[in-house]
Amino acid sequence: MLRTRHRPRFGPLLAALALMLFAAQPVAASPIVYNSPVPLLDGVPVMGVNTQEPENQVNPVGAEYFAFFANAGSTVTVTGTRLAPHYDMSLLVFAGLFTDTTQFAGGLSTDFDANDPGFIDFADDEIDNPGPFGDPQSIFVAPTTGFYTVAVTNFSSDAGPPNPFSLQVTGISAIPEPASLALFGLVGVVGLCVRKRRKAI
């Protein structure tokens, strides 16, 4: 009887290893640019324009980013107001500052979710603003003293961009003296990463 030679089954193993390596590769980084002023001022509204297409409510790429400073235990209210009837405005709040979108979900996903570092809240339609959509509002107690991030996104607008809006945050603080931006990790985060406030359309 002829004996057949056993062939090592490396094919499935190599395929599995390749899949693991592919899955472990982080998504391409998209730099996060904070709108000015940094930080936001208590109760002072700012204008912005979101340029995302509809159905991007959990997409960090193309979101508009704002930063504010709050003291632990403060009740913070973040209110968004759409300035165009077609825009279905949504927003997310995170503790901390970020440099690029790979920092959300450990760099393995392009979506915002409740497991992201510093996640606090997602807001959409909390305010009954007459029209096809409501406006977002998040009310929370600041868990720590430091900087926070607001990401403004596009939930399910009736049309494409531009999507103008205003944003107001109350219950926040100025950076305490003699603290500096460096002490709170802003060096290298803001610097060139501050966008001049654009005029609302």
Q: Cα-flanking dihedrals φ and ψ of residue 152, to 5°?
A: -95, 125
Amino acid at 97: L
The answer to whether residues 167 and 152 touch, using CB atoms and an 8 Å cutoff, is: yes
Cα separations (Å) of 35 from 12, 108, 169, 198?
49, 26, 14, 9
The whole-angstrom separation of Cα 159 and Cα 182 is 41
- Give the per-residue pLDDT at 185: 52
For 123, half-sphere exposure in the C-beta direction (CA atoms, 13 angstrom radius) is: 26
Q: Let me know if 18 is exposed, middle or buried by CB neighbors in 10 A (0-12, 13-18, 19+).
A: exposed
Cα separations (Å) of 99 from 33, 180, 191?
8, 19, 11
The answer to whether residues 91 and 136 touch, using CB atoms and an 8 Å cutoff, is: yes
Q: List domains and CATH numbers for the chain.
A: 30-191 (2.60.120.380)
- Give the per-residue pLDDT at 56: 96
Give the H or E element holding residue 177: none
- Give the per-residue pLDDT at 48: 98
DSSP state of 153: E
Q: Report pTM.
A: 0.78
pLDDT average per 10 residues of sequence, the chain (201 residues):
40 38 51 96 98 96 98 98 96 97 74 93 93 92 98 96 98 78 49 44 40
Under 8 Å CB-to-CB from 6, ≥6 apart: which residues?
A: none
- Give the per-residue pLDDT at 176: 81
Structure tokens at 80: 């968004």
- Give the per-residue pLDDT at 13: 39
The whole-angstrom separation of Cα 66 and Cα 30 is 16
Q: Cα 147 to the chain's mean position, in Å? A: 14
- Give the per-residue pLDDT at 7: 39
Strand partners of residue 18: none
